[in-house]
């Protein structure tokens, strides 16, 4: 199971932005990005800024929330004021195929043609299947990672809620 961290606090600011890719290879699963700031309620005078690429945000300014983090990636949020929760992994459609993957497959085919022309035609027996299987393997890998993470996030949110109700609010690691 993935190792999650959670942080609780009061939302002091929530900003909504529209994602505009700056580079040709940048793609986001959602057209919207939310930046929000938490005033931690565990006695530490420190605001925490978090960013999530999602259209859904079940909390507003002034609400008490618990945010589940996988590294720096926000994967879940529970609104303690209203009881609503969201798993950001399942909230938006998955971005499984990316432009960079298609470019890499084309690069593999070009490299295999150059190798076949300069050295040996038999090299095509290895590079053509590799080029054909590259994109489906990348898509399948992302789909499996996402599917595995969905269950872990739900379990992590439940564990974080249990820990919040039993102990004073702090930054905890969730296994």
97-115, pLDDT tens digit by residue? 888 888 888 998 888 888 8
Could you tell me the two tokens for 106?
């084309």
Give the separation between CA 92 and CA 146, rounded to whole angstroms: 12
The count of structural domains within the chain is 2
Q: What is the pTM of this model?
A: 0.74
What domain range is 132 assigned to? 99-136
Quote the pLDDT of residue 103.
Answer: 87
Residues whose CB falls within 8 Å of the CB of residue 104, separated by 6 or more in sequence, listed in order: 134
Angle, helix 124-166 to helix 99-118, in steps of 10 degrees: 150
Quote the pLDDT of residue 54.
Answer: 82
Neighbours of 25 (CB within 10 A): 10
Residues 84 and 129 in one domain: no
Look at 55-59, 85-89, 164-168 and tell me which has the smallest mean pLDDT.
Answer: 164-168
Give the separation between CA 165 and CA 111, rounded to whole angstroms: 58
In a domain, 161, yes or no: yes
Quote the pLDDT of residue 25.
Answer: 65
In a domain, 37, yes or no: yes
Give the separation between CA 69 and CA 4, rounded to whole angstroms: 6
Quote the pLDDT of residue 171.
Answer: 56
Residues 87 and 161 in one domain: yes
In a domain, 143, yes or no: no
Residues 44 and 129 in one domain: no
């Amino acid at each position: 199971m993935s190792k999650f961290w959670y942080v609780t606090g009061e939302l002091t600011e929530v900003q909504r932005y529209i994602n505009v890719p700056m580079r040709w290879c940048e793609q986001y699963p959602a057209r919207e990005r939310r930046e929000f700031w938490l005033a931690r309620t565990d006695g530490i005078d420190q605001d925490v800024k978090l960013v999530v690429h999602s259209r859904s945000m079940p909390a507003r300014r002034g609400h008490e929330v618990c945010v589940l983090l996988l590294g720096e990636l926000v994967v879940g949020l529970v609104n303690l004021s209203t009881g609503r929760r969201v798993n950001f992994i399942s909230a938006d459609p998955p971005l499984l195929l990316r432009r960079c993957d298609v470019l890499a497959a084309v690069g593999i085919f070009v490299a295999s043609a150059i190798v076949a022309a300069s050295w040996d035609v038999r090299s095509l027996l290895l590079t053509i299947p590799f080029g054909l299987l590259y994109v489906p393997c990348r898509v399948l890998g992302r789909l499996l990672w996402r599917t595995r993470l969905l269950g872990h996030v739900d379990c992590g949110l439940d564990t974080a809620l249990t820990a919040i109700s039993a102990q004073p609010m702090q930054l905890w690691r969730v296994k």
